Amino acid sequence: MFDSVAVVGATGAVGTLIRRILEERDLAFREIKFLASQRSAGSKIPFRGAEHTVELLEPAAFDGIELAICSTPDDVAAEFVPWARERGCTVVDESGYWRMKPEVALVVPEVNPQAIDSHTGIIASPNCSTTQMVVAMKPLHDAARITRVVVSSYQATSGAGVAGNEDLAAGTAAHLEGRQHEYSAFAHPIAFNVIPQIGSEKHAGYTSEEMKMVYETHKIFGDDSIKICPTCVRVPVTNCHSESILVETERKVSVDEARELFEAAEGIVVEDNLGDGVYPMPVGCDDRDEVFVGRIREDLSSETGLAFWCVSDNLRKGAATNAVQIAELLAQRKAAV
């Protein structure tokens, strides 16, 4: 049990979901506080049957706090995490700022829980598109070692925050009514469209979102030799990211073996019956914590290739749930001492 826990960014979209997941799950603590920017400080929020006042995110807010679960923009995380660490607080951080720092553990509990044992006070949660992919990769990698990945993501507008979903709703209404909509979250219309760019131009024609999938996957598996070719696309779906994934392994993995490996893996649900039209879709994976896999088939162009389809709730497993699961891992390690 933790003596005291703080949720940082508690009134944002992911922070609100973290609060809800903490109510659903069994993380034990004696006290909790909710921190946010000046704009939200002083507001009231309900939690486990009581009303709590949101406190200002400032250095003194971390006095006496044992664990902080955080979802803020990168620049905010860069500033406040040192405040927490100076006061002996362990931080589980959702932002992208700390993920690739060599001294920071980057953890998906179903994939590399052992990484938490060497943390130095900061444990990062990966990008949402990386998280679901590595959960799906894990059983195949353990069984036959993955050497190459080709992945195309179809990412929901909620990945761009509340403004992303507002753009989709307002843009769709405007399009149907023959009006123009001025988009705020996207550089191009998202209604009735797909945008083959998420993030800024980063490296050799790849975007920052795509390179996150490369670098974070290497760090999580501790294997920089895995070749990864990602393409990230924004699609007009409100929630749940989908990914078309093709892997090549050192030895051939048959469809039947792959299905057995997926079915036995922690955190994966298999929905795979093409003849009956059974496969994962965002509409059926919304508000779920699992990673869903289907359309499992051999790669017709490679002797050791396997293709499959993967869907997961980007706000839950891709963000809030993974952070809470990391906190639960910390609690388990603490109880075992």
Instruction: Give strand pairing partners of 187.
Output: none
User: Which among 70, 89, 119, 128 is annotated as catalytic?
Assistant: 128
Closest by CA position to 110, among listed 217, 298, 265, 330: 265
Distance between CA atoms of residues 107 and 321, nearest Å: 12
Distance between CA atoms of residues 165 and 170, nearest Å: 9
Backbone dihedral region for residue 146 (phi beyond 0: left; psi -120 to 50: alpha; all else: beta): beta
Distance between CA atoms of residues 109 and 129, nearest Å: 16
């396997």: which residue's tokens?
306
User: Which among 240, 241, 285, 310 is annotated as catalytic?
Assistant: 241
Evaluate whether 125 touches 21 at the Cβ level (below 8 Å): no
Answer yes or no: 188 catalytic.
no
What's the token pair of residue 240?
């749940």
Distance between CA atoms of residues 124 and 136, nearest Å: 19
Distance between CA atoms of residues 104 and 121, nearest Å: 8
Distance between CA atoms of residues 218 and 235, nearest Å: 26
3-state SS assignment for residue 141? helix
Answer yes or no: 241 catalytic.
yes
Q: Known catalytic residues?
A: 128, 241
